[in-house]
Chains A and B, each alone.
Chain A
Amino acid sequence: GIQVEQSPPDLILQEGANSTLRCNFSDSVNNLQWFHQNPWGQLINLFYIPSGTKQNGRLSATTVATERYSLLYISSSQTTDSGVYFCAVGSSGNTPLVFGKGTRLSVIA
């Protein structure tokens, strides 16, 4: 099945800094989503982005499907951005989402 690798596994930032999280996948996809998991475990949808670029406030994401990677950019980070960020992909049809191991982000004041 499709493999998903996220990097870095851990990231510590000073408040106000920018960061880039990467997601590599091993096959073509028709679904790619970025999530933020809050401390209570809920997965919050950030982007649905099988291809192209999207922006939402301080967050933006780019997926280059032909090169099998996606990037999540966080600008002017805040302590509330802390948590685990997951990339999840679906390879075809109705195949379920396959998750990476996540990037644990800690933003310190």
Chain B
Amino acid sequence: DAGVTQSPTHLIKTRGQQVTLRCSPKSGHDTVSWYQQALGQGPQFIFQYYEEEERQRGNFPDRFSGHQFPNYSSELNVNALLLGDSALYLCASSLGAREAFFGQGTRLTVV
């Protein structure tokens, strides 16, 4: 079992650009959640996908959007990047509300 995998691992973008991050869940998991972790802080919930629908959303602007595919993999899209979007983006997968497992994260730097 490959566990939760995220790509890319590192990314540098310019202000105003758009970015897409990808996540493949652990085998057998149907729920994918995305988190943003700023330096020195705990992860903050962005949104959760289940059955290809956004089920819950945290306090993030509409510039943050996502998608879940029929194979349960997911994408996080951020438009009109701001310097403050620089962070570690973490994807977690779970089977419903059970134990969540995290990927290694994508470190996004906006310059």
Contact = CB atoms under 8 A, between A and B. Distances in A.
**A associates with B:** yes
16 contacts: A31-B97, A31-B99, A35-B102, A41-B90, A42-B103, A43-B43, A43-B90, A88-B43, A94-B31, A94-B97, A96-B58, A97-B45, A97-B92, A98-B45, A101-B42, A102-B42
Interface in A73-109: 86, 88, 90, 93-102
A90 B101 CA distance: 14
Interface of A: 30-31, 33, 35, 40-43, 45, 48, 86, 88, 90, 93-102
Interface residues of B, number: 28
Interface of B: 31, 33, 35, 37, 41-45, 48, 50, 55-56, 58, 88, 90, 92, 96-105, 107
A42 B90 CA distance: 8
A45 B33 CA distance: 16
Contacts, number: 62
A100 to B, nearest CB: 6
Contact of A94 (B44, B92, B96, B107): B96
B99 A93 contact: no
A97 B43 CA distance: 9
Nearest to B47: A96
A95 to B, nearest CB: 7
Given A41-B105, A43-B90, A96 B99 contact: no
B88 A41 contact: yes
